[in-house]
Structure 1
Amino acid sequence: MPAQPLSQDQLSEAAKLKDLFKSWQASRKESGLPSSQEAAADMLGFGQSALAQYLNGKIPLNIDAGAKFAALLGVGLSDFSPSLADQATRVAGSVTGLRVTDDDDHAPPTIAIPMVSVHVQAGIDGFVIEPILDEDGRHYVPRQFIEENDLHPDSLVAVKVRGDSMQPMIFDGDIAVVNTIDRTRKNGGVFAMNYNGQAVVKRLTYDRREWFLASDNPDFEPVPCRGADCIVIGRVVHFTPKNFRDRL
């Protein structure tokens, strides 16, 4: 039986996704990074044929595929599919409050998310994530935390924090979990940022009608967060202390 044709809304969303994908490819090429559909399919975790069909409006997007595209392209799900973003919110809300125990074989107590390094360019609203393949390449987040906070695992990545600017909360070597579809600035929130071409973890503050990147370490002065020099990658929603030596 032939597949049902996509609706006009679905075709419009596919076209938006294709435009974002082309911008991602152009950015990758400028950086000398793999940018082919085959390379993207490997990062997304599904075949090149499926990727092409999503981009060309031959098959409809679903929440899982949409979240993977959003994480790859460094955009919000709503940037190309408001309908899926609404659907994801409803699905996440429906599982809030579920209790998880170690005895439940069908609901393991943790969820694995990828450990990645983040590559950014100055002035470009997007980023490239590269999997870290040493050890097992994954970080484990409590399932209950993800469900209670309405998070979608496919939109989460784990990064290793470098430097001491966020001490005493986050130390060099700690693991920060970033929600790549939550890019709305919030006063006092901790975010992964593209600051003038450098990926940093900072606290966003708002004072006298201006945004600043602030450090928890008082030795570092806040810096203005303006325009294309300061772009949100995602909000830090969880962190795991790994550097215990410097805490002693």
Structure 2
Amino acid sequence: MPALPLSEEQLADAARLKDLFKEWQHSQKEKKLPSSQEAAAGALGFGQSALAQYLNGRIPLNVAAGIKFAQLLGVALTEFSPSLASEAEMVAHAVAPSSDEEVTTHFPGLRRVTGDHNQAPVMVAIRMVPEHVRAGITGFEIDHLFEDGGHLHVPRQWLEENDLSPDQLRAVKIKGDSMVPIMYPGDVAVVNIKDKSRVNGGVFALNYKGESVVKRLKYDRREWYLASENPDFRQEPCRTGEYDVIGRVVRFEPRNFKDRL
């Protein structure tokens, strides 16, 4: 019997997975680590043919394969398949229902997404800032910058609990290591572009001298400073006219597990 065609949701999952896989390959090449489909298939535990069919939407993903991909790529299962993440969570509850820690022990590629009812999507997409957004940008709110930036999916329950809406949020990939050990290169910060009020000790995305940066704001002796978490970086005074507050960081998603372990 010929295989049934994939649903639109399954094809969308495959497309997101393929994009993440390409990002993984690029990262592996930069680190001079194995990046071929052959190497990936070996790490995943199935053949190159199956790998290619998953990536190209020829065969549907299942929970077991999804978790293997999530572990390989260093992302949450929700990043490419919210539906499989929900399915895996239901299975996880049956295996180890008592705590988030126990759930993620059984399913390392899974993050708990919500306890809400199923009448609304458990994950909500927010726009991702393209990596090439750099000098000369005065704010992430310029719409045309986001056309090719993709999306990050965040739990709807988290949005509701914090009274946030997707249109006021942007996701940006961390560059550099000035915020280590809190945020590592490759991690993703979620920025509330509607919250520009400076707060002593808060972490913000800013345009500083023409460059988009993520820093902690500190107020000392009537002066504002850009502070890093990494002690190898010194505080920088930020004077009026030298910077613009883009928004406050309200969440971050770990992506760089290699440097954390």
> Which TM-score applies when normalising by structure 1?
0.54
Aligned residues: 146
Q: Do 2:193 and 2:247's aligned partners in 1 also have CA atoms closer than 8 Å?
A: yes
Shift of 1:125: 7.0
Separation of aligned partners in 2, 1:215 and 1:132: 30
Question: Computing the radius of gyration over CA atoms, which structure comes out larger, 1 or 2?
Answer: 2
State the 1:128 CA deviation.
Answer: 3.5
In the alignment, which of 195, 198, 201 is matched to residue 188 of structure 1?
201
Compare relative contact order (CA 8 Å, sep 6+) and give the higher one, 1 or 2. 1
1:61-100 correspondence to structure 2 within 5 Å:
100=114
Cα pair 1:119 1:127 within 8 Å, conserved: no
Please say if residues 120 and 128 of structure 1, whose CA atoms lie closer than 8 Å, have aligned partners that are also in contact: no
Instruction: Look up the equivalent residue of 1:128 and give its one-letter code.
Output: I
Q: Distance in 1 between matches of 2:156 and 2:123?
A: 5
Indicate which of 157, 175, 179 corresponds to 2:192: 179
Alignment partner of 1:153 is 2:166: yes
The runs of at least 4 consecutive aligned structure 1 residues that moved more than 6 Å come to none
Name the stretch that deviates more: 140-149 or 171-180: 140-149
Structure 1 residue 214 corresponds to structure 2 residue 230: no
Determine which of 163, 178, 187 is the counterpart of 1:165: 178
2:239 corresponds to 1:223? no
Match of 1:111, as an amino acid?
V
Question: Which position in structure 1 is the counterpart of 2:90?
Answer: none
Contact 1:165/1:215 (<8 A) preserved: yes
Q: Name the SS for the 1:154 alignment partner.
A: helix
In structure 1, the residue matched to 2:142 is: 128
Structure 2 runs not aligned, ≥5 long: 1-112
Gaps of 5+ in 1: 1-98
User: 1:119 offset after TM fit, Å?
Assistant: 4.8
Per the alignment, in what secondary structure is the counterpart of residue 218 of structure 2? Answer: strand
Q: Could you tell me which of 102, 115, 118 is aligned with 1:101?
A: 115
Counterparts of 1:132 and 1:116, CA distance in 2: 9
Shift of 1:144: 1.5
Distance 1:157 1:150 in 2: 15
Structure 1, residues 27-70: CA drift from partner, whole Å, max 9, x if none? xxxxxxxxxxxxxxxxxxxxxxxxxxxxxxxxxxxxxxxxxxxx
Aligned AA (1:131): F
> Among the aligned pairs, what percent are the same residue?
55
Amino acid at match of 2:146: P
